[in-house]
Structure 1
Amino acid sequence: MWLERNRDWAGYVAILVLCGAAWGLGQPFAKIAVSEGYRHFGIIFWQFAIGAALLGAINLARGGRLPTASHHLAFYTIIALIGTLLPNSASYTAAIHLPSGILSIVLSLIPMLAFPIALAWGMDRFSAARLTGLVLGLCAILLIAAPQSSLPDRAMVWWLPLALIAPLFYAVEGNFVARYGTGGLDALQVLLGASLVGMVFAGPLALMTGQFISPLPPWGLPDLAIVASSITHALAYTAYVWLVTRAGSVFAAQVSYLVTGFGILWAKLILGETYSPWVWAAALLMMAGLVLVQPRKPTEAVAAQ
């Protein structure tokens, strides 16, 4: 029994690491996707389309269905807007101007920003430790923005507020789902439905703004980056949700550290980015803030032991 339980937990840790590594690729892939002129609406449309195709195949294989009642469609629409279309529009635009590693550090603010939103909505109680974590996260942003030598180009600092839009929307999304639930939908159905509805919004916006990306060859690195990021996100999200059901949400929440760490590592290995001591100090402050804002509820019992 002891050996079986430890084997299970070794598998959970491996999946957690893989999720962190996959999600950490998101920012370097975003940087590559915008490197030759592709812009947010065109990229987001294909992100929705590729995700819908992959998740639809998984849903079909498991014999699942996709509810389409009016309240389900409304929920898909909200998630598509606040979970992808709006935050990713900001992220892809910021990726044009900011280093990938900086974007990974900024995204670590999600659980910190979620805390004051939860307080405002009456969903959480005040915690001095978690407030301290939020302050540390904000100090990390100041370490990136304030020193003259923190960024390769001082003009980049004006794009930091745009980069902050994405974690703010993700924090709102998390609290929205926590407060209102998913209407009986599982996570795969939510992501599939949001992807399908998101295509309806992103497609016309891409066409009207001249940002539509033709799927016809020739294909370059930006095209491959869009496909790879869409697939890795869909698979990592599915694996993460499975991990929550098996190992508990508190254990799975530790992926936040891995996403930041891998995001910086991939940016260094793939893009050759280098950072000033101020940025490394900001990353350490952000990690410390994450430690303080992580939930402290007891880990749920592991299913099927």
Structure 2
Amino acid sequence: MKPMWVSKDYALLLILATLWSGSFAFIKVGVESVGPMTLTSARLGIAAVILYAWLRIRGYRLPRDARSWGVFVFIGLVGNALPFTLISWGEIHIDSGLAAVLMGVMPVTTAMLAHSFIREEPFTLRIGLGITLGFASIAVLLGPDALAGLTASILAQLAILLSAICYGASATFIRYFAEPANWPSLASGALFAAFIWSLPATLILETPWALQPEPQAIMAMFYLGIGSTAVANLIFFYLIPRLGANRSAQVNYFVPILGALWGVIFLKEQLSLRLLLALTLILIAVAVIQPRKGTPERSDNTGSGE
């Protein structure tokens, strides 16, 4: 029996979109006085503790077999530690709204990777059109500035795009190597592994004990750890078995829109015509690559986790 689309689930999906989209503005606030790797490690550490506590309260345990921890280690690096760091570094040089819109291409990168590396994924005209529109949106965002060389702004935008590719690779990996019935352990184990990945690099490269973060940066750390990562993961993995991966992935429509909106409202960022055009192209691309009605639910087009 297919899961029913009920008002509670719809409300949770909107809350999830708000939590993930808000992360871009809070990252922008955080990196003003905290290094990107320190911000990432703090976020992951807070979220890992919360999810592990929730895991134990619900009676689950982290598996001990090598295969499960191999999955955790890969997803922890590619789906959490690396993209979180890239986004945080990128937002030192670009607006949070631009970062949110760039991250909107994640479903497109997921489709591109799935149809490039997985035999069972046929390449169709619809997928090709969606990928083309996704690349067109990137070209619009980078604009003529890209021809002038690798400026800090261009490098930052490329870092955000690389993080979208990381999320796509992680989603594709989950599709084939993770057990759908074990989502709680997967979420907790991946965050724990991500924290282990990020902590040594943070201690070596940023010496966080010497930092003097502003109060708003500390607030940003806790929001990112509790809201955008721990609570958002719990909501997302609650929705997947109820709505299916495809319906849950519709959160990707809202994240770039809301992310750009929060930047305008709270950080006084500007919405340029180029940004609005790129956002439109991205939303069309995401709509095009979404599985058609009647297509079996799959988990290779999951949310960004941001």
Q: TM-score, normalised by structure 1?
A: 0.87
2:94 to 83, 94, 98: 98
1:222-241 matches, within 5 Å, as 222-232=217-227, 233-241=229-237
1:112-151 matches, within 5 Å, as 112-121=108-117, 122-147=119-144
Structure 2 residue matching 1:98: 3-state secondary structure: coil
Deviation at 1:248, TM superposition (A): 2.1
Q: Distance in 1 between matches of 2:120 and 2:221?
A: 36
Whether the 8 Å contact between 1:108 and 1:260 is mirrored in structure 2 is: yes
Q: Cα gap change, 1:194/1:102 in structure 2, threshold over 3 Å: closer, same or farther?
A: same
Whether the 8 Å contact between 1:12 and 1:243 is mirrored in structure 2 is: yes
1:18 to 15, 28, 38: 15
Q: Distance in 1 between matches of 2:202 and 2:152?
A: 28
Whether the 8 Å contact between 1:103 and 1:163 is mirrored in structure 2 is: yes
The answer for unaligned runs of 5 or more in structure 2 is 146-150, 298-306
Whether the 8 Å contact between 1:45 and 1:202 is mirrored in structure 2 is: yes
Deviation at 1:198, TM superposition (A): 2.4
Q: Who is 1:189 aligned against?
A: 185
Q: Distance in 1 between matches of 2:155 and 2:296?
A: 43
Deviation at 1:300, TM superposition (A): 7.0
Q: Distance in 1 between matches of 2:219 and 2:274?
A: 33
Q: Cα gap change, 1:267/1:244 in structure 2, threshold over 3 Å: closer, same or farther?
A: same
% same residue? 23
Whether the 8 Å contact between 2:45 and 2:192 is mirrored in structure 1 is: yes
Per-residue CA deviations over 1:243-298 (Å, capped at 9, x if unaligned) read 12112222211110111111111111121111211111111111111100112253
The answer for unaligned runs of 5 or more in structure 1 is 149-153
Q: Distance in 1 between matches of 2:52 and 2:30?
A: 24
Q: Distance in 1 between matches of 2:287 and 2:193?
A: 36
Q: Cα gap change, 1:218/1:116 in structure 2, threshold over 3 Å: closer, same or farther?
A: closer
Per-residue CA deviations over 1:116-149 (Å, capped at 9, x if unaligned) read 211222241112112111111111111111156x
Q: Cα gap change, 1:200/1:157 in structure 2, threshold over 3 Å: closer, same or farther?
A: closer
Q: Distance in 2 between matches of 1:243 and 1:200?
A: 27
Say which one has the larger Rg: 1
Q: Distance in 1 between matches of 2:242 and 2:281?
A: 31
The one-letter code matched in structure 2 to 1:230 is G
Structure 1 residue matching 2:6: 3-state secondary structure: helix
Deviation at 1:44, TM superposition (A): 1.8
1:158-237 matches, within 5 Å, as 158-182=155-179, 186-212=182-208, 220-232=215-227, 233-237=229-233
CA-atom RMSD, angstroms? 2.2
Whether the 8 Å contact between 2:76 and 2:190 is mirrored in structure 1 is: yes
Q: Distance in 2 between matches of 1:185 and 1:86?
A: 26
The one-letter code matched in structure 1 to 2:24 is Q
Structure 1 residue matching 2:123: 3-state secondary structure: coil
Per-residue CA deviations over 1:147-193 (Å, capped at 9, x if unaligned) read 56xxxxx86234321221100000000111112224x7622211211
Whether the 8 Å contact between 2:71 and 2:178 is mirrored in structure 1 is: no
| Regions of 4+ moved over 3 Å | none
The one-letter code matched in structure 2 to 1:112 is V
Whether the 8 Å contact between 1:19 and 1:239 is mirrored in structure 2 is: yes
Q: Cα gap change, 1:155/1:81 in structure 2, threshold over 3 Å: closer, same or farther?
A: closer
Q: TM-score, normalised by structure 2?
A: 0.87
2:82 to 75, 82, 86: 86
Whether the 8 Å contact between 1:20 and 1:255 is mirrored in structure 2 is: yes
Q: Distance in 2 between matches of 1:256 and 1:199?
A: 25
Per-residue CA deviations over 1:14-71 (Å, capped at 9, x if unaligned) read 11111111110111111111012x2222122112210111111211221111112222
